[in-house]
């Protein structure tokens, strides 16, 4: 009952206020300390209906951010991704945490976000959860897929409907380059996704190009509707 818990992010001991309730209900939710929780910036206020970005007065059009307006005006991309939901603002703290998680390979950090991911997904209707895959090369380097890890630790079953055929060194490419890139995914089992509502999972939504590529090929292969969830935006 008095087992010391450490914060998964900063490794400091989690101060849990002991109450009578704890005798009856084991409270297992304290994966991170209040300090780290405070450094996570939940996306709030008025947000883009399409991609969750926090909207500014000047840069919007009918509730969409200008990036999404651009996507939806492009006949090549219109209508594939129904909406993206993101949990947190991609601030310095989250940048550092995600870098440790996926580049250093600290899988345990996925669990720090598990309860947030699980809670959000509970309110999103879907038939199949599909993690954005890594290429074989990147998978061998990292040892796990960070998108899948986020879903797994949240207790969710995933289905690997996609295969990545191109390298994902996205961060070094411009928006134009990312969009123009030929399709980077392949659908593995079209029968399974036919007519299904699919929820894609990834760690970060940057330009939205990865998720839209995935949504496009899934829809073209017969999926009914595509939504996505990312940790950061």
Give yes or no for residue 70 binding other proteins (CB under 8 A). no
Task: Out of 30, 107, 168, 192, point to the residue binding other proteins (CB under 8 A).
Answer: 107
Give yes or no for residue 105 binding other proteins (CB under 8 A). yes
Inter-residue contact 226 to 200 (CB < 8 Å): yes
Which range, of 53-61, 141-149, 164-172, 225-233, touches other proteins by CB under 8 A?
Answer: 141-149
Alpha helices for 40-135 (secondary structure H): 66-73, 92-102, 108-122
C-alpha to C-alpha distances, 176 to 172, 182, 211, nearest whole angstrom: 12, 12, 15
x/- site string to other proteins, residues 1 to 20, per CB under 8 A?
-----x----x---------
Give yes or no for residue 143 binding other proteins (CB under 8 A). yes
Give yes or no for residue 159 binding other proteins (CB under 8 A). no
Secondary structure class of 202 (helix, strand, coil): strand
Tell me the closest approach of the beta carbon of residue 53 to other proteins, in angstroms. 28
Which range, of 31-39, 60-68, 71-79, 142-150, touches other proteins by CB under 8 A?
Answer: 142-150
222 CA to centre of own chain = 23
- In this structure, the number of other CB atoms found within 10 A of the CB of residue 48 comes to 24
Show the tokens assigned to 83: 């909406």
Q: Which residues contact 98 (CB under 8 A, 6 or more apart)?
A: 146, 203, 204, 231, 232
Give yes or no for residue 152 binding other proteins (CB under 8 A). yes
Tell me the closest approach of the beta carbon of residue 11 to other proteins, in angstroms. 8
Give yes or no for residue 197 binding other proteins (CB under 8 A). no
Give yes or no for residue 163 binding other proteins (CB under 8 A). no
Any idea which residue has 């199949």 for tokens? Answer: 128
Give yes or no for residue 23 binding other proteins (CB under 8 A). no
Phi-psi bin for 107: left (phi > 0), alpha (psi -120 to 50), beta?
alpha
Inter-residue contact 130 to 169 (CB < 8 Å): no
119 or 141: whose CB is closer to other proteins? 141
9 or 217: whose CB is closer to other proteins? 9
| Contact footprint for other proteins (CB under 8 A) | 6, 11, 100, 104-108, 139-145, 149, 152
């Amino acid at each position: 009952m008095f087992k010391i818990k450490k914060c998964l992010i900063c490794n400091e001991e989690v101060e849990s206020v002991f109450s009578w309730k704890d005798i009856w209900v084991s409270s297992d939710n304290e994966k991170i300390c209040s300090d780290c929780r405070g450094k996570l910036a939940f996306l709030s206020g008025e947000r883009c209906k399409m991609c969750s970005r926090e909207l500014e007065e000047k840069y919007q059009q009918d509730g969409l951010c200008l990036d999404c307006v651009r996507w939806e005006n492009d006949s090549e991309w219109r209508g594939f991704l129904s909406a993206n939901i993101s949990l947190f603002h991609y601030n310095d703290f989250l940048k550092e945490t995600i870098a440790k998680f996926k580049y250093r390979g600290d899988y345990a950090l996925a669990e720090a976000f598990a309860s947030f991911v699980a809670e959000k997904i509970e309110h999103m209707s879907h038939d199949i959860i599909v993690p954005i895959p890594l290429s074989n090369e990147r998978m061998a380097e990292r040892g796990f897929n960070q998108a899948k890890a986020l879903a797994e630790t949240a207790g969710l079953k995933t289905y690997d409907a996609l295969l990545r055929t191109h390298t994902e060194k996205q961060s070094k490419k411009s928006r134009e380059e990312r969009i123009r890139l030929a399709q980077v995914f392949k659908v593995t089992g079209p029968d399974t996704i036919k007519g299904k509502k699919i929820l894609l999972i990834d760690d970060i939504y940057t330009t939205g190009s990865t998720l839209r590529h995935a949504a496009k090929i899934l829809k073209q292969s017969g999926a009914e509707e595509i939504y996505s969830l990312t940790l950061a935006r």
